[in-house]
Structure 1
Amino acid sequence: MAEKNVANVEEEKITLIDVLKLVSPGTVLRTAIDDILRAEMGALIVVYSDKVNEIMEGGFSIDTLLSSQKIVELAKMDGAIIVSEDLKKIMNANVMLVPNISIKTEETGTRHKAAERTAKQAGTLVITVSERRKKITVYNGHLRYILQDTDEVLSRAVETLQILEKQREIFNELLSNLNLLEISGLVVVGDVCSVLQRIEIIMRTAKTMEKYLIELGREGGVIKMRLRELLKNIDREKSLILQDYETKEDTLDEFGFDDLLESENIANLLFSSSSDTKIAPKGYRILSKMNLGKKETNRLVEHFKNLSDILEASPKDLVEVLGEDTETFNKEVTSLKEQIMMAKKI
């Protein structure tokens, strides 16, 4: 990520995630600013852009490879440190920044005012380290964010991970129940909505984790591995459920979190019916658990229309679709039903 030219990216396309990646633990910049903070010093670091030239005064040129040690030493001077767009070189030090004072800023300190105005005027990344507040603030265009203490972020990440683990347990139970109902032909809209609701909660919680993990950098390695395990097959199950019940994938994006917690809201949005309305899956998801190719699965669904009719089809009808693979299919269906009845994971 250090090779990303921040100043060349259009301001509106820069997100907090982009910025956090550049200053996450383990990067040269983060090591430097953490060392400056521990040394109880202040600093003002600016990523170069053509517009930065317009607001630079004084200082001296260095043009040396960027390292955390050099940044710490140069921070002992009062002026700003200018680093290259690719974050590989230190270009200037002890620079005075004179951005347009008419640019609005919510900051109070001289260094932070200059930093925010520079970020807005030059459309680039600016980092300030406050020796008095003991805080690191990053600006990029109109974006402002105070970097959190790594231990605090780690604590929040662990708490969020525990929530995800519990949500995954609930999801697994709901999915097992849906499996049973689908092979029994007893599904109602509410059963499908409960699973989709839980998937959406998991995915939204995982997005919160993304910011924590980027801010943690290398410190979040173990949590990242666990998150990957918890999200395994979630997208696939969601896609197959939506295909089974002919609903749109992005529809739930319209919901706020409070609306999402009401299953009846989901039922109305996705199916335009109440939660207790009976509904039949086409069978794509259950059939995906068998050794069937995509063509065979599509032929079965096209011929029989729904899962119940597929499972109850006579050998004669199945032969028309599967040919010599009918016997193998029937054995797999029997085995799959037994696993589902015993609430085994499939």
Structure 2
Amino acid sequence: MDSQKLEDILKFVAPGTALRDGLNNILEAGLGALIVVGFDEVVKKMTDGGFFLECEFSPEKVYELAKMDGAIILDDECEKILYANIHLQPDRRFSSTESGTRHRTAERTAQQTGKLVIAVSERRNVITLYKDDIKYRLKETVAIESEASQAIKTMERYKYVLDRSLGNLTILELDNTVTMYEVATTLQRFEMLRRIGAEINSYILELGVEGRLLNLQFQNLNQDIEEDEQNLIRDYIPDSMEYKEVKEQISLLDDDELLGVENFSSALGYGKTYSTLDKEVSPRGYRILGRIGKLTKKDVEKLVNQYNGISKLQDAPDEELSEMKISKAKIKALKNGLKRMKLTVELEKSY
């Protein structure tokens, strides 16, 4: 399922929107409905009967019109109700897995037109969304909140594990004793966290205005994750590869492959063998230098290009750094920052 397309669909029907208010009114009244969002020549050719309205959309109006048997057609932005009591006749060559007439018509119409089609079931009291080949049944707010709460707790646990992994990696990097195993394991945890985050984001979208607190929790947990992952990959990626290539390979891993640490060393361009995981590697320094506040991105690039490794940089004389036009204040911040970072991580590990 295309997650971006689903996100766009959910925005239309999120709690707090006028369309969702109308759908809730229809559900609460025990009515059924078939609603098409958008109108063009393709939609026009499959319509029959009904009447033309072109009136301003409101939850109350769409609820009243749902009392009739036919479909309701809205404009693309859900700002106007264009037609009501329409009989839709989609091409039967488009397949449908639905058994009910309304839902079968909705699925075929969505496939044929590419429009968002919403079916409200009066018997099952559920709302189902269709667009192209996407079929998604909206859940009750209470059920979503329960699932989202569990997902947030899971993300908190994974974030803790990731932070410990990054802390351990920092010590090894400063000591220049990193192996590919530590890098691949940390990258694996980034991806696990990202996938949990994607699931939480879908809950936030579906909850709409009801998901504000959840969104605050998520943003707090997700802070700097993407930047840290990017810097980690840039630290260890071979010159022959690009960041986007690594991310694309990782995104293609299924749930079983996600558990294999060797798949992450492979994505980084190092291969899958055990000997590869035992191989000692050195970071360029993007992630650690990025944590030192006084250094700009330009400073970081300059230092990485000059030293290409944290171990060499730690031993660099102040005079040498000054020749690179790094100010005394930044040199002091750099040296103190590296020492403080190592001490902080070692203290955290002792607890």
Structure 1 and Structure 2 fold alike (TM over 0.5): yes
- The 1:142–1:304 alpha-carbon spacing in structure 2 relative to 1, beyond 3 Å, is closer
Identify the residue that residue 156 of structure 1 maps to in structure 2: 147
In structure 2, the CA distance between the partners of 1:343 and 1:64, relative to structure 1 (3 Å rule), is same
Q: CA deviation at 1:177?
A: 1.0
Residue aligning to 1:8: none
- Which position in structure 1 is the counterpart of 2:170? 179
Amino acid at match of 1:339: T
- Residue 15 of structure 1 and its aligned partner are, at CA, apart by 2.1
Determine what percentage of the aligned residue pairs are the same residue.
35
Distance, in Å, in 2 between the alignment partners of 1:142 and 1:289 is 44
More deviation in 219-228 or 88-97? 88-97
Which residue does the alignment assign to 2:309?
306
Number of the residue aligned with 2:14? 24
1:84 aligns with 75
- Corresponding residue number in structure 2 for 1:170: 161
Tell me if structure 2 keeps the 8 A contact 1:65–1:88: yes
Q: What is the identity, as a one-letter code, of the residue corresponding to 1:293? A: T
Deviation at 1:182, TM superposition (A): 1.3
SS of equivalent to 2:276: coil
CA distance in 2, matches of 1:329, 1:15: 44
Contact persistence 2:299–2:326 (CA under 8 A): no
- Cα distance between partner residues in 2 of 1:303 and 1:179: 21
Count of residue pairs the alignment pairs up? 333
Give how far 1:164 is off.
Answer: 0.6
Report the alpha carbon displacement of residue 258 of structure 1 after superposing the two structures with TM: 1.6
Q: How do 1:306-325 and structure 2 match up within 5 A?
A: 306-321=309-324, 325=328
Q: Matched residues in 1 for 2:263 and 2:188: separation?
A: 10
Aligned runs of 1:1-346 on 2, under 5 Å? 15-47=5-37, 48-247=39-238, 248-249=242-243, 250=247, 251-270=249-268, 271-272=270-271, 273-290=275-292, 291-321=294-324, 325=328, 326-327=331-332, 329-343=334-348
Q: CA RMSD of the aligned region, Å?
A: 2.4
Structure 2: where are the runs of 5+ without partners? none
How far did residue 93 of structure 1 move? 1.7
Deviates more, 1:295-304 or 1:316-325: 316-325
Residues in 1 aligned to 2:116 and 2:255: alpha-carbon distance in whole angstroms = 32
Counterpart amino acid of 2:344?
Q
Are the equivalent residues in 1 in contact too, given 2:162–2:189 (CA < 8 A)?
yes
- Per mean C-alpha deviation after superposition, the further-off stretch among 282-291 and 196-205 is 282-291
Offset from partner CA, 1:152-177 (integer Å, 9 cap, x none): 12211111111111000001111111
Instruction: Flag the 1:155–1:54 CA change in 2: closer, same or farther, 3 A.
Output: same
Question: What displacement does 1:199 show?
Answer: 0.5
TM-score by length of 2: 0.86
Letter in 2 for 1:281: P
Corresponding residue SS for 2:83: strand
For 2:3 and 2:194, how far apart are their aligned partners in 1? 23
Q: Secondary structure at the match of 1:15?
A: helix
| Helix, strand or coil at the partner of 1:85 | coil
Distance in 2, matches of 1:281 and 1:14, equals 34
1:295, 1:75 → 2: CA distance? 60
Provide the rounded CA distance (Å) in 2 between the counterparts of 1:109 and 1:261.
Answer: 41
